[in-house]
Structure 1
Amino acid sequence: MTADTQPYGGQAIVELLRRNGVDRVFTVPGESFLPVLDALHDAPDIALVVCRQEGGASMMAEAYAKTTGRPGVCFVTRGPGSANALAGLHVAAQDSTPLLVFIGQVPRGFQQREAWQEVDVSALFGSVAKWATDIQDAARLPEYLSRAFSTARSGRQGPVVLGLPEDLLFEHVEPIALGPATINQGYPAPRAMAQLSKMLNEAQRPLAIFGGSGWTADCRAQLQAFAEAHELPVATAFRRQDRFDNRHPNYAGDAGLGMNQELAKLLGEADLLIAVGTRLGDITTRHYELVNVPKARQRLIHIHPDPQEPGRVRVPDLAICAGVEHFAEAAAGLQAGPLPPERASWLTRARAIREAWQRPTQSPGPLQLGEIVAWLGQRLPPEAVISNGAGNYTLWVHRFYPFRALGSQLAPTSGSMGYGLPAAIAAKLAEPSRPAVCFAGDGCFQMTCQELATAMQYGAKVIFIVVNNGSYGSIRMHQDKHYPGRRYGTDLVNPDMVALAQAYGAGAARVERTEQFADIFEQAMTADRPFLIELVMDPSILRP
């Protein structure tokens, strides 16, 4: 084979993406990886989505991974491009999402001279990514990319960053003789499952907390049946509400921001906690108060795909290193013995707590956000995708919207503002038949609102609901608590949201009263383009 017929580095990368099931790539183009862009030109089976800012591109890739169950892929340029992309990488790290970010790098001969836009990939991303490195040898591209896919998807999933020196992408390489990367997940040992079964059958007041990544519809159904058989109440971890049907009789509520005080009591009174997939982080445990560190008051069974996670913060009574899929398969084979007499009343109490909490509350003024969110729960099908970023408006969404299907919630556990808009676009591109609704505060929306242009370019008919209270509401709430009467730096002077959306070519309307919303939403559902609905909110209303 002559050099003219050998693939060059850019082509080799695209071929390796194809062999690992990648069908969409998100980017802001840069001259540092032009050979990859040229190779993508000849890859019609891999769609290219050109974004307006690298943070939006990496967030879209992260949300695409959550929606499809496959690694998200993002290409950005060095220096400022890679710094912008760090926002989505942090989401992927804290949300345990498989994400590959490729960074066009300065040529190898220029490295370590602080060349133009040079960045030290391992130093900048090493504390966030599971693996971050520069590739220095074109011949090793198959090795590096195979390891990248395997690392991103094995154990606790997460992001990987690969630097691509510009000159390497032009070099010719040998034809690729490599299939898709392997994925490694642990299986629960039979002895551990027997111990779990014994502990669960003995417990009077057990409670499960479902969270983490790596879920499938099948394993969710298996774990739902497991909960039913054992009369086990199930709470969901922070922003993991779609891990269990929120209308199921065994659902106890979400352990997140603004947690129901009655659910907090339930967590405290449980005599056994079964944590599946979740790390039991600070939000889910209300700053580690509900599940003590280093030893919980409750007996604790911790199931997690990372062997280093159980025991990292608190010592469990039983640790099981397993992916959620494999644990669900093993749990499906457990038989429930005669259940303790208190179990039925415990489950009834948990159900009542959740049902009371989901009734919409009333706020001052003509616009009732709780009623609007609850109405959407009735109007939208279970498979509809609801996304959000960060801010107090999310308290209404998480409390009053019933997440029913897996993949119906896209919300960053990292608490990243600006996430909801690019996430909803990615979800709509992944599955155009599913309704996609983004909630954003006025401050949150303006972090990534330029991606409205991306939605327009690719026909992503997302409905964006902007809750406008003219402030950084969650920050103002904490400011008022700690420094009453000294509000500073949290008020916003906003553009005309409707005019802004229309300038991008989207449909738009403003809602100031609850009764206006349903008709406007129906217009949005039938629109032939993205549609923004601005909800004018009284700035004094900061929580349900």
Structure 2
Amino acid sequence: MKLTGAQIFIECLKEQGADVIFGYPGGTVLPIYDELYNTTEIKHILTAHEQGATHAADGYARSTGKVGVVLATSGPGATNTVTGIATAYMDSVPLVVFTGQVPLPILGRSSFQEVDITSMTAPITKDNYIVKDVKKLAQTIREAFKNARSGRPGPVLVDIPKDVQMDTSEYEPAVIDTSNKRIEWGFHRDEWNQEALKRNLERAIEAINNAEKPLIYAGGGVIIAEACDELMTFAEKIKSPVACSLMGMGAFSQDHPFYTGLIGMHGTRASNRAASNCDLLIAIGARFSDRVVGNVKTFAANAKIIHIDIDPAEIGKNVFAHIPLCGHLKNVLSMLNERIDEKKLSSWNKQIDEWKGVFPPKFTYKHTLNPHYIIEKLSDLTKGEVIITTEVGQNQMWTAQSYVFKKPRTFISSGGLGTMGYGLGASIGACIANPDKRVINVAGDGSFRMNSTELVTISRYKLPIIQLVLNNHALGMVRQWQDLFYEKKFNSTKLGNDVDLMKLADAYGIKGIRITSDDEVEEKLQQALNMNEAVVVECIIDEREMVFPIVPPGASIQDALEE
């Protein structure tokens, strides 16, 4: 059948199982919006800003494993998506971002709202395309979705000129496999073929069976690969402690006795000392970020390192891997689980328990409202059955340290890029994707101010999101660094109390609750949880509150400041 480019766009989204688009209209995407008006199968969510739309699609994708979809107009509409695209790229989140473009006859002439968005986003996408022929539109969209979800997931951008949306072409429907199946052996390169993996698998099995002090370092790749059950089996079989990166939160149930906590700059004593004293470090779906490793020369210096990842580019990039295993994590762990020896609890497990008992990460400035207490009480009241999104900074670290995450895809945060203003948009996407679950965004006042305009999206669609703001009237983490490492020169990090968050919430038609002391926390959090509507909960905390432990710049993770 013969369809316009805009109609082909809609049909291809239906093929891919995409039922939600997050976007903002503009001149160069009007043909698509005109067709969206005629369909009930795809829901369009209008955000306040294109960055918010991209973060919302990101939250949708992280909470479901599906591909998030964004639609923006050309020029500033397209450039407003860049931060969200980079956020998704750093954390391996599958997105397809569609941007409108000026018509082909005026392309490259500095036309109104024209920008070369494909060149701009080339370093932060898995691939991107500009479609200059309507006959290639369907093929390009199908390829973009396949690329976004396959192998190591990530964002893909498709730029569609306005006249291509209006041109006509024959369209042949296709049956698309929208499951998240990935090729068994990862990326097929000569040095990472099946024979190489099988050889290294034998070496890994021998190293695991002979290890006396193993440590599993689990990253976000475990969640992406849906390999959490295999990880649990693996850890329990070899009796290994498990430390998680920030992106790995929820990959291993945090109420399990083998869980040691966050690893790295703000990691627990148990995790960091385990990494420094283990004789075998098994990294699974993790990339040895600088925030985890600290001083590379001293990280796991006494250990043999097994690195399991689907992306060969990550293996050996930051830390040398003695035994590389490049493949799909679910498959590799299954193969290991079939062949490794069952172990017994040992003196190593006893040592880990002692480290866990000596130092729970609860140090805080003694004041009227304790951020750890707030997050712990939130964890107790929700029993891990909600989705938590966060902003970036102290709020993010307090949440990672004190909330007990038991399931994957319940902790959603910007890890690699560290995007302030991410959480509120992400909570919108997570809420729309999971209407049966309560979504709570934990924020600092600095991050919240950046994209607080997305409250209008929450209000418009009546989303029952709880916005929990830990308000210290400062850029808390930056202020903390100034306090500890810059001689207490507090430059441009005090925000003051010039914004009344209760009045701001009211302006958007959203209820507001303020907490000022520990004895109000449980009652008022429960009040917010009982409300089947949006609510802003503001917690007034002292600006001197800090996140501990913290590893000073250039230091080993075993030399963290603990108070």
TM-score, L = length of structure 1: 0.93
Give 1:359 deviation, angstroms: 6.1
2:60 to 64, 76, 96: 64
Match of 1:208 in 2: 216
Amino acid in the other structure paired with 1:76 = A
Deviation string 1:324-353 (CA, Å, 9 cap, x unpaired) is: 2322332332341566xxx62212333443
Unaligned runs of 5+ in 2: 186-193, 549-563
Q: Which residue of 2 aligns with 1:411?
A: 413
Distance in 1, Cα, partners of 2:152 & 2:184: 10
Distance 1:25 1:380, change over 3 A: same
CA contact (8 A) 1:210 1:277 kept: yes
Letter of the structure 2 residue corresponding to residue 220 of structure 1: C
Task: Give the conservation status (yes or no) of the 8 Å contact 1:358–1:399.
Answer: no
**More displaced, 459-468 or 281-290?**
281-290
Structure 1 residue 334 and structure 2 residue 339: aligned?
yes
Partner of 2:404: 402
Matched, 1:384 2:392: no
Q: Which residue identity is paired with 1:258?
A: H
Query: Does the 8 Å contact 1:214/1:323 carry over to 2?
Result: no
Q: Is the aligned partner of 1:127 residue 2:127?
A: no
Higher normalized contact order (CA 8 Å, seq sep 6+, divided by chain length):
2
Counterpart of 2:535 (choices 527, 531, 537) is 531
In structure 1, distance between residues paired with 2:289 and 2:46: 35
Task: Report if aligned partners of 2:98, 2:158 keep a CA contact under 8 Å in 1.
Answer: yes
More moved, 367-376 vs 476-485 = 476-485
Measure, in 1, the Cα distance between the counterparts of 2:216 and 2:208.
Answer: 10
Q: Tell me which residue corresponds to 1:393.
A: 395
Task: Give, in whole Å, the separation in 1 of the partners of 2:525 and 2:410.
Answer: 19
Q: Does residue 176 of the first structure (1) align with residue 172 of the second (2)?
A: yes
Matches within 5 A, 1:325-364: 325-337=330-342, 344-354=346-356, 356-358=358-360, 360-364=362-366
**Aligned residue pairs: how many?**
534
State the Cα distance separating 1:526 from its structure 2 match. Answer: 2.0
Post-superposition offset of 1:247 = 0.7
Per-residue CA deviation, residues 498-537 of structure 1 (Å, 9 max, x unaligned), is: 1101111111111100111211112211223201110001
Q: Aligned partners of 2:331, 2:39: CA distance in 1, in Å?
A: 35
CA–CA distance in 2 between the matches of 1:168 and 1:355? 63
What amino acid does structure 2 have at the position aligned with 1:180? I
Residues 363-422 of structure 1: CA deviation (Å, up to 9, x unaligned): 322111111211122111333111111112222211111111111100111211011111
Structure 2 equivalent of residue 480 of structure 1: 483
* Match of residue 160 from structure 1: 156
Query: What is the CA–CA distance in structure 2 between the aligned matches of 1:61 and 1:471, rounded to whole Å?
Result: 29
Residues 425, 455 of structure 1: 8 Å contact kept: yes
Does the aligned pair in 2 maintain the 1:35–1:169 contact within 8 Å?
yes
* Residue 437 (structure 2) pairs with residue 437 (structure 1): no
Alignment of 1:31-430 (within 5 A): 31-180=27-176, 184-187=182-185, 189-213=197-221, 215=223, 219-286=227-294, 288=296, 290-291=298-299, 297-337=302-342, 344-354=346-356, 356-358=358-360, 360-413=362-415, 414-430=417-433
Q: Are 1:276 and 1:303, in contact at CA under 8 Å, matched by a contact in 2?
A: yes
1:27 corresponds to: 23
| Contact map agreement 2:147 2:153 (CA 8 A) in 1 | yes
- State the 1:492 CA deviation: 1.0
Q: Deviations over 1:101-137 (max 9, x none)?
A: 1111111111111111211123210111111221111
Structure 1 residues without counterparts, runs of 5 or longer: none
Deviation of 1:257 (Å): 3.8
Shift of 1:486: 2.9
**Kept after mapping to 2: 8 A contact 1:276/1:302:** yes
How many Å apart are 1:277 and its aligned residue? Answer: 0.8
Contact 1:121 1:134 in 2 (8 A): no
Q: Distance in 1 between matches of 2:264 and 2:50?
A: 29
User: d(CA) in 2 for partners of 1:13 and 1:257?
Assistant: 45
Deviation per residue, 1:456-513 (Å, 9 max, x gap) = 1112101111011111111112223343243221111341001101111111111100
Residue pair 2:261, 2:270 contacting (<8 A) in 1 also: no
The answer to whether the 8 A contact 2:220-2:247 is kept is no
Contact 1:238 1:256 in 2 (8 A): no
Change in Cα spacing, 1:179 to 1:362, as seen in structure 2 (3 Å) is same
Verify the 8 A CA contact 2:284 2:308 in the aligned structure 1: yes
**More divergent stretch after superposition (455-464 vs 180-189):** 180-189
1:318: how far off?
Answer: 1.4
Partner of 2:455: 452
> How far apart are the structure 2 equivalents of 1:354 and 1:12?
57
> Which is further off, 40-49 or 354-363?
354-363
Shift, 1:354, TM fit = 3.8
Between the aligned partners of 1:319 and 1:102, the Cα distance in structure 2 is 36
SS of 2:36's equivalent in the other structure is: helix
Residue type of the alignment partner of 1:208: I
**Contact between 2:85 and 2:125, CA under 8 Å: does it hold in 1?**
yes
Tell me whether 252-261 or 78-87 shows the greater mean CA deviation. 252-261
User: Which amino acid in 2 is paired with 1:345?
Assistant: S
Contact 1:55-1:84 within 8 A present in 2 as well = yes
Q: Structure 1's 243 and 18: CA in aligned 2 closer, same or farther, altered over 3 A?
A: same
In the alignment, is the contact (CA less than 8 A) between 2:388 and 2:412 conserved in 1? yes
Matched-pair contact (CA < 8 Å) for 1:186–1:323 = yes
Quote the RMSD (CA, aligned, Å): 2.0
Per the normalisation by structure 2, the TM-score is: 0.90
Relative to 1, partners in 2 of residues 1:52 and 1:389: Cα closer, same or farther, differing over 3 Å?
Answer: same
Checking the alignment, whether the CA contact within 8 Å between 2:237 and 2:342 is kept in structure 1 is no
Q: Summarize deviations over 1:39-75 as a string: whole Å, max 9, x none.
A: 2223322211110011111001011101111111101
Structure 1 residues 217 and 34, CA gap change in structure 2 (3 angstroms): same
What is the CA-CA distance between 1:193 and the residue it aligns to? 2.8
